[in-house]
Structure 1
Amino acid sequence: MASMVLPSSGEEENQWGLLGTQQRSGQRKKRSLPCFTDSELKGSKGRRFHLNCSGVLNLKCSKQPAASSRRSGVTSERVALLVLSVLLAAAVTALGVTLSENTQTKKSLQKLEDVAKHLSEILSGTEPCKVEQPSKPPSVRSVRCEDGWEPQGGKCYFFSSFSLTWTQSRTHCTSMRGDLVVINSKEEQRFLESRVRGKMEDYYDRFWIGLTDSKNEDEWLWVDNTGLNTSLEFWLGSNPDNWTGKNPDGEDCVTMGEKDGATDLKSWNDISCESPHKSICEKPEKA
Structure 2
Amino acid sequence: FCFGTQTLFLQTLSFSFSLKSAFDNWRKQNALQTLKEENEALWKMFFFYNLFQDDPCPKCEEDWEHHRGKCYYFSTHKLTWEKSRNKCRDKGGDLVKIDGRNEQRRLREVMIDDADKFWIGLTDSEEEGQWLWVDGSPLDESFWGHYQPDNWIWEDLKGEDCVRMGEKDGAPDLNCWFDKSCQVPHRSICEKPEKNHQNVSECV
Provide structure 2 residue ranges, at least 5 long, that are not aligned to the other structure: 1-47, 197-204
Higher Rg of the two aligned structures: 1
Residue 220, structure 1, aligned to residue 131, structure 2: yes
Q: What amino acid is the match of 1:149?
A: W
Task: Report the CA distance shift for 1:184/1:141 in structure 2 as closer, same or farther (over 3 A).
Answer: farther
Q: What amino acid is the match of 1:271?
A: K
Match of 2:62 in 1: 147
How far off its partner does 1:262 sit? 4.0
**Paired positions, count:** 148
Q: How far apart, CA to CA, are the structure 1 residues paired with 2:122 and 2:109?
A: 19
Q: How far apart, CA to CA, are the structure 2 residues paired with 1:142 and 1:184?
A: 26
How far off its partner does 1:273 sit? 0.1
Match of 1:267 in 2: 176
Q: What amino acid is the match of 1:276?
A: P
So what's the TM-score if we normalise by structure 1? 0.49
Which of residues 79, 93, 100 is equivalent to 1:164? 79
Contact (CA 8 Å) 1:235, 1:267: kept in 2 or not? yes
Contact (CA 8 Å) 1:141, 1:150: kept in 2 or not? no
Q: How far apart, CA to CA, are the structure 2 residues paired with 1:213 and 1:187?
A: 24
Task: Report the CA distance shift for 1:186/1:137 in structure 2 as closer, same or farther (over 3 A).
Answer: same
Q: What amino acid is the match of 2:127?
A: N
Larger deviation, residues 272-281 vs 249-258: 249-258
- After superposition, the C-alpha distances for 1:131-168 in whole angstroms (9 at most, x for unaligned) are xxx95712379701000100001000000001000000
Which of residues 148, 153, 162 is equivalent to 1:253? 162
Contact (CA 8 Å) 1:166, 1:275: kept in 2 or not? yes
Q: What is the Cα-based RMSD across aligned positions, in Å?
A: 2.1
- After superposition, the C-alpha distances for 1:17-46 in whole angstroms (9 at most, x for unaligned) are xxxxxxxxxxxxxxxxxxxxxxxxxxxxxx
Q: What amino acid is the match of 1:219?
A: Q
Q: How far apart, CA to CA, are the structure 2 residues paired with 1:262 and 1:142?
A: 38
- Determine what percentage of the aligned residue pairs are the same residue: 51
How far off its partner does 1:244 sit? 0.4
- After superposition, the C-alpha distances for 1:50-91 in whole angstroms (9 at most, x for unaligned) are xxxxxxxxxxxxxxxxxxxxxxxxxxxxxxxxxxxxxxxxxx
How far off its partner does 1:257 sit? 1.3
Listed as ranges, the matches of 1:65-144 within 5 Å are 137-139=52-54, 143-144=58-59
- After superposition, the C-alpha distances for 1:98-133 in whole angstroms (9 at most, x for unaligned) are xxxxxxxxxxxxxxxxxxxxxxxxxxxxxxxxxxxx
Task: Report the CA distance shift for 1:141/1:184 in structure 2 as closer, same or farther (over 3 A).
Answer: farther
SS at match of 1:265: coil
Q: How far apart, CA to CA, are the structure 1 residues paired with 2:173 and 2:74?
A: 22
Match of 2:145 in 1: 236
SS at match of 2:52: coil
Match of 1:208 in 2: 119
Contact (CA 8 Å) 1:157, 1:281: kept in 2 or not? yes
Provide structure 1 residue ranges, at least 5 long, that are not aligned to the other structure: 1-133
Which of residues 185, 189, 192 is equivalent to 1:283? 192
